[in-house]
Amino acid sequence: MKKVLLINSNLENIPYPVAPLGLALLASSLQNKYEVKVFDFAFNSTESLVQFIKDFNPDYIGIGLRNIDNVTMRRTKWYIDDIREKIVKPIQENFTIPIILGGSGFSIAPKELLDFFSIEYGVVGEGEKTFAELLEVLEQNKNPEIINNVLTRKGGVKKFTFPDEGLLILPKANVDLFIDFLPYLQRSSYPVQTKRGCAFNCIYCSYPRIEGKKYRLRPVTDIVDEIQNVNLRFPGVTFEIVDSTFNSPLKHAIAICDEIIKRELRIKIRTMGVNPGLVTGELIQKMKLAGFSQIDCTPETASDMLLKKLNKNFNKNKLVECAKIIKNQDMPTMWFFMFGLPGETEETINETFDFIDRHIPKHDMVHVTEGIRIIPQTELYDIALNEGVISGNENVIDPMFYVSPTIGKAKLTGILASKVDERNNVVNSIDSAPSPELLKQAIQFRQENNIDEPMFRTLLKLTK
């Protein structure tokens, strides 16, 4: 049986480490035909990686690239330089094993990243089917370019495609069976994916390029079976739904909650990507009953004009209604807003902060971002090009950020600095990652006071 080594290259663990769900799914999908191991570089070193490869002696190596950078305009962290120096080059210098690159970050700029890393093969989009097909072709010494979604450095790609709309049947991720999950258990959560795809058309977003524009929903029983089984192995673990948007389609989200409630699992869950346009009283009520202890709500702006420019599926009135529902249900929430959007002015900034002051409780955190990361092949990229924000000659893996010429970077930075200073619960993205010392203090504070609340609420108490 041939051997495959999959490497989690995510080096970022602030504010908390993110378990490699995608690699675990890929590993599970390959197990019937290959001996598969996962090396988690998040808690290891270059020396231990080289030794691991010597001991395991894999026939193929897959490297998962989650992020190119931290998508923060000020204090940008460019991850791929470290990944190249600490992971890729040591492998290339010590071994002649074929390397295959993939992951969500890779899928944003695949050709450029193959060149950057000097790697021969890449898988664009989800890898459970394509990666296995690529291995078979390599075994037969055929041209990999005959496979959809496979990119070669010397050649090109046949075609980028996404699976058709329908049910999404995934292998069991079992992340904890492939890596040491203890470091994640202490500070993070257990990731669960309930669907793939995104049906929205936000002008800045890369999700449709990575997962497709049509939803593929996992069967509700599969999702809750997974949660139930993991909870038996790790009683009390917090689960995190990692979909692009949890509450779309709304019926699917409610059905998941209903199944958890029916089984009386008594678990703790949080979720990213709650779409304000699809928030209802029934949804939030059932989420609380199912064990959701925190949500992330992502309106990005409270200006009707800017919501329309972003192609959002809701207006300000719906956003206000969403905020009232969340507040009335006392659901702990982190809110996310971006500034510098196309058409942004001081008036639209004031409009968003007026919404924050009127409708978001002071014990809930508001996360604000200056500028928007420009992703290739998005509408925002075209806007930036037409407005002269970028020339079109840039290497797309170099972090590029959009700030509307109607406000400008310097003015935007000054206004936001003042707005953030005036509000105890508003945090700029450049200051959102707590220091290790603060995290340690927060953990101790929670233990001493027997506090069971979202960590962001504890951090607000200690920092503002």
DSSP type of residue 86: I
Q: Where along the chain do its domains lie?
A: 3-152, 189-433, 436-464
Of the CA atoms within 13 Å of residue 315, those in its CB half-sphere come to 3
Per DSSP, what are the bridge partners of residue 366?
335, 426
Cis peptide before 249 (omega within 30 of 0): yes
User: What is the pTM (predicted TM-score) of this model?
Assistant: 0.94
- Domain spanning 189-433: which CATH class is it, in words? alpha beta
**Residue type for 112, please?**
E
Question: Is there a cis peptide before residue 15, judged by omega within 30 degrees of 0?
Answer: yes
Q: Are 148 and 158 in contact (CB under 8 A)?
A: yes
Task: Give residue for tokens 């590029």.
Answer: 400
pLDDT at 209: 81
Report how far residue 331's alpha carbon sits from residue 284's, in angstroms, rounded to the nearest whole number: 8
In this structure, which topology does domain 3-152 adopt according to CATH?
Rossmann fold (3.40.50)
Strand (E) positions, 242-356? 268-274, 292-300, 333-339
Per-residue burial over 30-55, b = 16 or more CB atoms within 10 Å of its CB, e = otherwise: beeebebbbbbbbebeeeebbeebee
Query: pLDDT tens digits for 139-155?
Result: 999 989 889 999 998 87
Q: Residue-wise pLDDT tens for the chain (464 aa)?
A: 999 999 999 998 877 889 999 999 999 999 999 999 999 999 999 999 999 999 999 999 999 999 999 999 988 899 999 999 999 999 999 999 999 999 999 999 999 999 999 999 999 999 999 999 999 999 999 989 889 999 998 876 666 777 766 778 888 889 999 999 988 987 789 999 999 999 999 999 998 888 888 999 999 999 999 999 999 999 999 999 999 999 999 999 999 999 999 999 999 999 999 999 999 999 999 999 999 999 999 999 999 999 999 999 999 999 999 999 999 999 999 999 999 999 999 999 999 999 999 999 999 999 999 999 999 999 999 999 999 999 999 999 999 999 999 999 999 999 999 999 999 999 998 887 777 788 888 888 888 888 888 888 888 888 86
Looking at this protein, which amino acid is placed at residue 285?
Answer: Q
The single-letter code of the amino acid at 206 is S
Q: Could you report the per-residue pLDDT of 179-212, keeping only the tens digit for each? A: 999 889 877 899 999 999 999 999 999 988 888 8
Q: Which residues, other chains included, contact 392 with Cβ-Cβ below 8 Å and sequence gap of 6+? A: 385
What was the pLDDT predicted at 158?
64
Name the residue among 248, 356, 246, 251 with its Cα closest to residue 300: 356
* Whole-number Å distance between alpha carbons of 79 and 83: 6
Is the CB of residue 198 less than 8 Å from the CB of residue 244? yes
Tell me if domain 3-152 and domain 189-433 are identical in fold: no
278 secondary structure, DSSP code: G
Bridge partner list, 338: 369
420 HSE (CA, 13 A, CB side): 21
Residues 6 or more apart whose Cβ sits within 8 Å of residue 218: 167, 168, 169, 170, 193, 194, 195
Q: Is 240 helix (H, G, I), strand (E, B) or coil?
A: strand
What pLDDT is recorded for position 384? Answer: 98
